[in-house]
Amino acid sequence: MLAITLLVLCAVGTQALDNGLARTPPMGWLIWERFRCNTNCKLDPNNCVSEKLVKEMADRMVEDGYKDVGYEYVNLDDCWSDKERDAQGRLQADPDRFPSGIKSLADYIHSRGLKMGIYGDYGTKTCAGYPGSLGHLQTDAQTFADWGIDMLKLDGCNSNVTTMKKGYPEMTKYLNATGRPILFSCSWPDYERAAKIPINYTLVADNCNIWRNYDDINDSWGSITGIIDYYDKTQDTLVPAAGPGHFNDPDMIVVGDQGINVNQANAQMAMWSIFAAPLLMSNDLRNIQPVYRDILQNKEVIRINQDPAGKMGKRVLTFGSNVEVWHRPLHQYQEWAVVILNKDTKPQTVSFMLSQLGFTAWGYEIREVLTHTELGHYGIYLPVNFTAPPMGATMLYAYTSS
């Protein structure tokens, strides 16, 4: 009986995602928010969804220092494919915008020391009306593996949301069967949330490396704070779901786009790092301003984001309706990251004791990591004052000197 039980458990266990990936949140670039479904390469050849654009972004990631600080995935989204499958029922790239094909593009990205991500959809069609994977999950998983794909985002448009608890794990099984490690990004929880279907995050984490669970981001402060508000309200559910190999994904980093300023850009990077969230930029790396490149390449913030413990942070204090204090435990004993988030249009100074954050050592050294400033030694039972900029954040790294 024991042997039979072990065999059954092993058989069940093989259905879970088994790729060894995303031990820390993935970092890279994703085409969607900045370039959307721009397919008109005749009128807009420099900004349409094409192999030319993707190669140029890969080049910028390598040559402008992004790869050196950890960004590695270069990801397509919707609108890359032809409107029809090939004669063998396989997905194929649009021949005009991707004349060399996806395998050739993946080979180029790999030659630059990077990894390639692609987009699919669980339904009959993608959100933009291109061929979906319903009825073709196994074929598509193998096709992506044959092309050398390293990451798959599987959206959920034009599908029966009630079947996702079965369908997404089915794709997990097919990805496992290819033998190629492909990071699996699922949109399944977001569709269940919208349909008011209870989300089983244990099942999600068993089958997905990262998962979307709220609205698409756009390059505005309101969109960023709306996502933060959702993560605040649901933190008791989201925090235990996250860990090495499986992370919540609040969507793309929009730092460097036109809709947010420097304070807001710093705040997004800080909060996404408190969330232990993927850092998937969606911007134009060819003409980004140096101040935003520096924010994206802030090694101190990235170190917190990539902390190997993989623990998601949470909100612990509020001051009125516009100031929140979040913290995240890091892997070293008595090591913390803290963000003071200010949604107000004016600078805000708040006072609190470190003991209110759950700190238990007698004192901590504190460094502000957005400005790279040592603030000094603080005891945990004396009130301390911190000021956060308007519509921005202060991010602290707290550690013991012993």
Q: Which residues of 355-379 are buried (b: 16+ CB within 10 A; e: fewer)?
A: eebebeeebbebbebbeeeebeebe
Copy the structure tokens of residue 320.
Answer: 């009125």
Residue 330, pLDDT > 60, answer: yes
Catalytic residue chosen out of the listed positions 59, 82, 216, 344: 216
* 260-284 residue pLDDT tens: 999 999 999 999 999 999 999 999 9
pLDDT band at 402 (very low <50, low <70, confident <90, very high): low
* 348-383 residue pLDDT tens: 999 999 999 999 999 999 999 999 999 999 999 999
Looking at residue 23, its pLDDT comes to 98
DSSP-derived secondary structure letter, 287: S
Copy the structure tokens of residue 277.
Answer: 């969230």
E-strand stretches of 220-360: 247-249, 279-281, 314-319, 323-329, 336-342, 348-352
Residue 8, pLDDT > 60, answer: no
* 71-100 residue pLDDT tens: 999 999 999 999 999 999 999 999 999 999
Residue 14, pLDDT > 80, answer: no
Residue 150, pLDDT > 50, answer: yes
Active site residue 77: no
At CA 108, angle to CA 209 and CA 27, rounded to 5?
30
> What does pTM read for this prediction?
0.96
Helices 51-63 & 102-111, crossing angle to 10 degrees?
Answer: 10
In single-letter form, the type of residue at position 238 comes to L
State in Å, rounded, how far the first CA of the chain is from the last one.
Answer: 53
pLDDT band at 401 (very low <50, low <70, confident <90, very high): confident
What mean pLDDT do residues 222-234 have? Answer: 98
**Pairing between β-strand 247-249 and β-strand 210-212 as defined by DSSP bridges:** parallel
Contact 157, 121 (CB under 8 A): yes
Active site residue 307: no
Neighbours of 353 (CB within 10 A): 14
Contact 345, 391 (CB under 8 A): yes
Copy the structure tokens of residue 380.
Answer: 């945990």
Rounded to whole angstroms, what are the CA distances from 35 to 39, 204, 257, 283, 343? 9, 29, 11, 8, 28
Percent of the chain with pLDDT over 90: 96
The mean predicted confidence, pLDDT, of the chain is 96
Alpha-carbon torsion angle 45, 51, 54, 57, nearest 10: -70
Q: CA 135, CA 246: separation in Å to the nearest integer?
A: 26
How are the residues of the chain apportioned to helix, strand and coil, as percentages rounded to the nearest 5? 35, 20, 45
What mean pLDDT do residues 187-211 have? Answer: 98
- Pick the closest to residue 140 from 94, 91, 207 (CA basis): 91
Q: CA 124, CA 326: separation in Å to the nearest integer?
A: 41
In single-letter form, the type of residue at position 316 comes to V
What mean pLDDT do residues 108-127 have? Answer: 98
pLDDT band at 310 (very low <50, low <70, confident <90, very high): very high
What mean pLDDT do residues 126-140 have? Answer: 98
What residues contact 13, with CB distance under 8 A and at least 6 apart? none
What mean pLDDT do residues 150-158 have? Answer: 98
Catalytic residue chosen out of the listed positions 78, 150, 155, 284: 155
* 281-306 residue pLDDT tens: 999 999 999 999 999 999 999 999 99
